Chains A and B, each alone.
Chain A
């Protein structure tokens, strides 16, 4: 399925997956709604880029993570909660846990070549996700340090 119907379907999948993992992580109900929405948007971005536009999983994960982190950081500022409580459930559909498991299973079954390839791919995708989160968090952090009183005071004292 593609087009609008596919997007709606992936939105629903992403929403249910993120909310159920939010419950696994004992998130309060207000956080569940926000995180579910963020995860759904991220999964739609990923599946549109990867399946419809044919991007590599590396780039698709990277761009989807950028979308997720930007919304998470903004919601964290609005709801006054750490960004990690929105981030972690929302990136669950993207993280290549399946690749790690499949790679390990190949290796246990003596297929080192396929195992190495799959594991390396999983590591690269994780790297893309981690880099996306760090990039956005770093930009928001630089803005916060620039405007916060505490760091200014500390800098003056140490200089």
Chain B
């Protein structure tokens, strides 16, 4: 109990914000972010602190006029289970590990900059494997399996590289759709036993926004209407951009007069 009083109000709020950012940037639900921040502040003796989180912003403050609030914009999110586990560990064990403010900040900084368990090549191969299995699950044969594996890995790797120059989900997913459709058309021209539809369907699986959509509906059910709106809008944008990419590639192919 002594150690809890060593941190000032602004230090507690700052640390709570960092934990919230860690959660939200790794694709956690907003209710978990709000709960973690509230619990962290309450554990350190500040029970009057309110928090509001949507997928793009976190606001921490209270109802009085004299104290300061802090606001943080979250511009990019992805799904990162490892980071969620680390953030949950820190938020539950902060007192047990006997950390003070600067140690906590250093811990968070180390966790955020630490190397990911899998590098780009492994991730690309995993995307290919997932795509291939999905194309078989939806009724494809071995030729579709091979095609989806090749195209899925290649598309993942290319979009990861391109993403360094073009920020934004629309570009990443739209380009992925375009590339996948183009490569599938080429692949089906070479291997006549593969069906284009199944190869494409398998290869786009890692980009589909099913999880975003489901999370949005979960937010609605939990009463987080604004967070739900944001997630559903993101899901619709993703689905639309991948469809646009694929249809654009198909139209170009037909327009050039090549056989489908």
Taking a contact as CB atoms under 8 Å apart, the answer to whether A97 and B47 are in contact is no
Q: Which bracket fits the contact residues of A? A: 35 or more
Q: Would you call A88 an interface residue if the criterion is a C-beta within 8 Å of the partner chain's C-beta atoms?
A: yes
Q: Among A21, A25, A93, A97, find the residue whose CB has the most chain B CB atoms closer than 10 A.
A: A97
Whether B210 contacts A82 by the Cβ 8 Å rule is no
Interface residues of A, Cβ cutoff 8 Å to B: 13, 16-17, 19-29, 31, 81-82, 84-85, 88-89, 91-93, 95-98, 100-101, 103-105, 107-109, 122-123, 126-127, 129-131, 133-134, 150, 154, 157
Interchain CB contact under 8 A, B208 and A154: no
> Do B211 and A88 have beta carbons less than 8 Å apart?
yes
29 contacts between A and B (CB under 8 A): A21-B126, A22-B81, A23-B123, A25-B80, A27-B82, A27-B117, A28-B82, A81-B85, A82-B28, A82-B32, A82-B88, A84-B28, A88-B211, A92-B211, A95-B214, A97-B239, A98-B138, A98-B205, A100-B208, A101-B201, A105-B246, A108-B243, A122-B213, A123-B217, A130-B220, A131-B217, A131-B221, A150-B42, A157-B47
13 more contacts with CB within 8 A, not counting A29-B117, A133-B218, are A17-B137, A20-B127, A20-B130, A24-B206, A26-B83, A27-B81, A85-B85, A97-B239, A98-B138, A100-B209, A104-B240, A126-B213, A130-B214
Kindly list chain B residues whose C-beta atoms are within 8 Å of the C-beta of A17. Answer: 130, 133-134, 137
**Are B221 and A134 neighbours in the complex by a CB distance under 8 Å?**
yes
Bound: A95/B80 CA distance, A: 18
Cβ of B10 under 8 Å from chain A = no
